[in-house]
Every structure is written in structure tokens, then in C-alpha cells.
Amino acid sequence: PRKIVIDCDPGIDDALAIVLAHGSPDLEILGITTVGGNVDLAGTTDNALRLREFLGFADVPITAGSAGALLRPRVNAAEVHGASGLGDALLPPATLPVTGGHAVDFIIETLRADPGEVTLVAIGPLTNVALAVLKEPRIVDWARGLTILGGSYTRGNFSPAAEFNIAADPEAAAIVFGAGWTVTMIGLDVSRGAVTTEAVADRMRAMGRLGSDLLIPCVEFYGVITADGGPAIHDACAIAYLIDPSLITVEPAVVDVETAGRFTSGMTVTDFRLGDRTPNALVGTSLDAGRFWDLLLATYAQVART
Ligand code: BDR
Ligand code: CA
């Protein structure tokens, strides 16, 4: 299996992404690191700890990281994810502790220990990843890759131009995109297609406690579910791409992060016209939603059985 470290801010769709990663035989989670984002750091860390015990992967370390952006006031998305960050899900309190140390050091040491083998997947604001790059620039070479859920070349969700994870810490995102590696950017352009319809929710309802205690109270809080519409579970797209890259088409581009715009702060300015420039990103441009849901629901059903 492909070894991954998940940097996240659970977060409803982060939780659904973690279930997918945990259940996939093609991925091995070496650690989960948390960042302030959808809710504050204490909340995202507590949610990660609760998810770990609910899902039963006690051996995976969880390490807390940055509470807020490098240079900006904190933002959150509690109106989207609920005060706890997990919608109406009420998972039992965790009994096992967070691993000591800082997420930035966990990321650096995990990549250092296994050069070329570990993929970093970031599904929250990029504060921890940026700090890791600044503290140890060689992680850019040690990482097998960096895949993010974030950004957009079409429309925003935090603002007209900006996606939440980038808008929450544009300076961090600019550091990450400028670090010299090729960032796989799965953005809203793709993830808005990962829509939880009534048919999907019905399948989740048949998944025992996984459905009743986690999936359903998350997705029903996240948006209105209809026959052909519903909330998009963005973060799961980044994990799905690592399991099966054929689910998402990616195209090389030069991506710059706007940090100064009056209307466009946090925008990922995406130039597919490479000319003689070296791309710094592979940008997701389309999702095979049917096969995406086949993968998710099959994996979730497997988790529900164990
Ligand atoms: C991203 O923002 C967060 O609210 C979600 O968890 C996801 O990572 C989507 O824009
Ligand atoms: Ca997230």
C-alpha cells in the first residue's frame, strides 16, 4: 500500500476522507496531523482522536499542529460543519491521548525516515505543510508527493475567487506552491462533483453504526440531500485520487496564490498555458463521479462490516 500522512481539520468531509483512507487496502496511514481550520485546533484534534477510536485504528499516531494562519486572523467554517466540526455526529469521547510533539516535526521526521515513499495529503489549511517546508526544505525531495484538497480555477466557496483551505492561510499556500515540488491540486472544480445524493445516503443508511453514528449525521448536517443533488464531500476526492488516479483527470499548470488582491485574496491563479515554464502543479480538471462513489461506498461498506 501507498504510505500516507494526512494533515487535516476534521471537519465533516475530512472525517469522510479519513474513513476512506482507513478502509482502503491500497493506503497505509502512517499518521494524522491536525490544523485549525473548519473549527479551532482543539476541536479538529478532538475529532481526529474520536474518529480514530470509533473506527478502531489506535496504532496510528495523531499529532496536533498549528492553531491558525501564519500571518492572518483565524477563520473557521463552523456554520458549515457545526460547532463541534462533525455536524450532528456524537462520537464517544476519546480515551487515548494525542501524540506529543508538533505536527510540523511529525511530518518532517516521517518523510525523513522513508525518503521517496511517503505521500503527504493535506485536506485543511496549509499552515503545517508550509511550516514544515520552511523548517526542513528537504521534505520537498523526501516526499513521494503532496496532494491537496484546496484551491480552484473556476469559482470559490469562501469568497467569489477563493476556496476555504487556501483562503484560510494564503501565505502558507503560497509557500507550499513555491517550494519546488509538484503539488497535486484537487480543487473545487473537481470536488464539487462529489455530491451526496439520496441514493448515496440510502446506501450509507444500510451501513450499521458507521452509517447511523457518523456518515448520516455528518452528511445530513452538511447539506440538503435530494435525488440528484446534495453536499459535496470535497476532502474524500484527494484520498480517492491516491487510491485510483484514474478517477480524476489532472493537467499540468503553473499555480500562483494571490495574497494581496482586494477581491481575490486566496485565489489559486491557475495558468494552463505553460509555454517553456515548468509546471508546479497537477490540477484536477474532472471527476468520474460514478466510479468515485462506487469506490467510496464499497470501502465504507467494508469498514462497516469490521
Ligand atoms: C474545504 O474546506 C473545508 O471546509 C472542507 O473540509 C474542505 O477541506 C473545501 O473547500
Ligand atoms: Ca478539510
Which pLDDT value is given to residue 147?
Answer: 99
Looking from the CA of residue 14, the nearest atom of ligand 1 is 6
ipTM above 0.90, yes or no: yes
pLDDT per position as a tens digit, 153-207: 999 999 999 999 999 999 999 999 999 999 999 999 999 999 999 999 999 999 9
* CB neighbours of residue 278 within 10 Å: 9
Which pLDDT value is given to residue 97?
Answer: 97
The rounded mean pLDDT for the chain is: 98
Which pLDDT value is given to residue 23?
Answer: 98
3-state secondary structure 27-80: EEEEEEEECCCCCCHHHHHHHHHHHHHHHCCCCCCEEECCCCCCCCCCCCCHHH
Which pLDDT value is given to residue 124?
Answer: 98
d(CA 242, CA 263): 33
**Ligand 1 within 6 A of 46 CB?**
no
Average pLDDT over residues 34-51: 98
Pocket test for ligand 1, best of 6, 13, 188 (most atoms within 8 A of CB): 13
SS3 306: coil
- Select from 225, 293, 302, 272 the least CA-distant residue to 25: 302
Looking from the CA of residue 149, the nearest atom of ligand 1 is 8
Which pLDDT value is given to residue 293?
Answer: 98
Burial class (CB in 10 A: 0-12, 13-18, 19+), 145: middle
Residues 6+ apart with CB under 8 A from 73: none
Which pLDDT value is given to residue 133?
Answer: 98
Which pLDDT value is given to residue 46?
Answer: 98
Average pLDDT over residues 133-147: 98
**Ligand 1 within 6 A of 77 CB?**
yes
Which pLDDT value is given to residue 92?
Answer: 98
Measuring from atom 4 of ligand 1, which residue has the nearest CA?
A: 38
pLDDT per position as a tens digit, 71-118: 999 999 999 999 999 999 999 999 999 999 999 999 999 999 999 999
Which pLDDT value is given to residue 216?
Answer: 98
Average pLDDT over residues 142-148: 98
**Ligand 1 within 6 A of 157 CB?**
yes
SS3 251: strand
pLDDT per position as a tens digit, 228-251: 999 999 999 999 999 999 999 999
Instruction: State the distance from the centre of ligand 2 to the C-alpha of 123, rounded, in angstroms.
Output: 5
DSSP H helices in the chain: 12-23, 41-55, 78-81, 103-113, 127-135, 139-142, 164-167, 170-177, 188-191, 198-205, 208-209, 216-222, 234-243, 289-305
Looking from the CA of residue 157, the nearest atom of ligand 1 is 10
Tell me, yes or no, if the pTM score tops 0.90. Answer: yes
Average pLDDT over residues 144-151: 98
